[in-house]
Amino acid sequence: MKNPITQKMEEGVTSGVFPGGVLLISYKGKVCFHKAFGFAQLIPTKIPLTTDTLFDLASLTKPLATTAAMALLMGSENLHLEDPVSKFIPSYKTGKKREVTLAHLLSHSSGLPDWKPYFEEIVQQDRKSPGLLSSPAAKQKVYQLAHNEKLINQPDTHSLYSDIGFMILGGIIEKVSGGSLDQFCKNNIFKKLNTKKTFFSGVGQEIKGFVAATEDCPWRGKIIRGEVHDDNAYAMGGVSGHAGLFSTAKEVYILVTDWLNSIHGNGIIESALAKRLVTRRRLSQGRSFALGWDTPSLHNSSSGHCFSRQSFGHLGYTGTSIWVDRVNALVVILLTNRVHPTRKNNQIKAFRPALHDLIYRYARNYQTEQRSSPPTLDR
């Protein structure tokens, strides 16, 4: 008899929530479920998913790469959470922008808009003068547009999830480190943790291993596979602070485990800083963001109804998510390609919390029964 978690994932495929997905569950420090379901690609041909399939992590880039990189720089450079952004970007030296700090960018409370289609200007210019799209010049143009973006709220008064803020953070990492964001992450995070299948996919870069397909992109004129789905990140060459990272469920788990190890003093990030980054700030009503991470919202959280208030996690637009319950030692990593072949599919919004509730109930039952070893769910 199939366990209900397997059944739920199979229902996700058959009901069209996503073409395919990989689910990894860890309980009490042990991986007890790691399975692939459905397809990595539907068109032009169907290709089954495996647990080794690479996924475009989308906004999981924010905590796993950008926030981790900021934390490492804060441990080794003269860099602090309360540093004003004006220390790095001249356009932030006037008006209300002078009040914006790195912590505001990390917690989505800077007052910046959520998103702007910067890629459209790059695409238009590229049509007139081919060669601009995804070039270093295009990346600098996007940085310029982001740096000059006007605030729509006073800093630290509202919470608005902002890709733009993390684009800016990516640029700050490059300025402070003296190199590219992808190289800094490779040398200081991925190599240290031996995650050989975690990387930024630069445009035109050859990828070893099969990557789950994403959208049939109208302006790129093809099914996207092996290059970043996010339009602004693609215009920047595939590497940005808000999107661009690729990995497998297993290696995402390795990265998440190091965050947990760091909290307990055994990871690559300084312990006190790691604890601060995953903890919800003193925020106005309705905010759930920590610093680079999210926490369960009071209502309609994607983590469901059961994860503790000390949990942290993040979502990715392509259909990816991480939720970590520190109190109950439960980690759930769900990687899907829900935007394949179109982003006009939001069924995952209802699927995620239902799945997390189901997983949590199983873990709670195990805890109640007081078994001597973690449950085996992989059936």
pLDDT of residue 2: 80
pLDDT tens digits for the chain (379 residues)? 689 999 999 999 999 999 999 999 999 999 999 999 999 999 999 999 999 999 999 999 999 999 999 999 998 878 999 999 999 999 999 999 999 999 999 999 999 999 999 999 999 999 998 999 999 999 999 999 999 999 999 999 999 999 999 999 999 999 999 999 999 999 999 999 999 999 999 887 878 789 999 999 999 999 999 999 999 999 999 999 999 999 999 999 999 999 999 999 999 999 999 999 999 976 455 678 999 999 999 889 999 999 999 999 999 999 999 999 999 999 999 999 999 999 999 999 999 999 999 999 988 776 554 444 555 555 4
CATH architecture of 4-369: 3-Layer(aba) Sandwich (3.40)
Who's near 316: CB < 8 A, 6+ residues apart?
56, 57, 58, 59, 60, 61
CA gap 86, 175 in Å, rounded: 13
CA gap 123, 274 in Å, rounded: 39
pTM to 2 decimal places: 0.96
pLDDT of residue 348: 98
Q: How many CB atoms lie within 10 A of CB 42?
A: 16
Bridge partners, residue 101, by sequence: 84
Tell me, what DSSP letter sits at residue 252?
A: H
Q: How many CB atoms lie within 10 A of CB 80?
A: 11
- What pairing do the DSSP bridges indicate for beta strands 320-325 and 199-200? unpaired
**Residue 311 one-letter amino acid:** S
CA 156 to chain centre: 23
CA gap 66, 105 in Å, rounded: 11
List, edge to edge, every strand of the sheet that includes 320-325.
Answer: 47-48, 30-41, 20-27, 330-336, 320-325, 312-316
Q: How many CB atoms lie within 10 A of CB 46?
A: 12
Q: Are 10 and 18 in contact (CB under 8 A)?
A: no
Q: How far is CA 31 from CA 53, 172, 257, 326, 376, in A?
A: 18, 36, 11, 15, 9
Who's near 51: CB < 8 A, 6+ residues apart?
22, 34, 35, 36, 248, 249, 250
Token pair 């989505």 in the structure block, residue? 108
CA gap 185, 195 in Å, rounded: 11
**CA-based angle 21:22:27, to the nearest 5?**
140
Nearest to 71 by CA among 273, 275, 289, 206: 273
Domain ranges of the chain: 4-369
Which two three-digit tokens encode residue 282?
A: 């003193």
pLDDT of residue 370: 44
CA gap 88, 273 in Å, rounded: 21
Length of the chain: 379
Which two three-digit tokens encode residue 90?
A: 């001249």
CA gap 105, 169 in Å, rounded: 7
pLDDT of residue 379: 43
Evaluated on CA atoms 325, 326, 331, 336, the torsion sign reads positive
**Cis link prior to 341 (omega < 30° from 0)?**
yes
Q: How far is CA 47 from CA 181, 213, 244, 251, 341, in A?
A: 32, 10, 23, 22, 13
Q: How many CB atoms lie within 10 A of CB 178?
A: 7
Who's near 260: CB < 8 A, 6+ residues apart?
267, 324, 326, 331
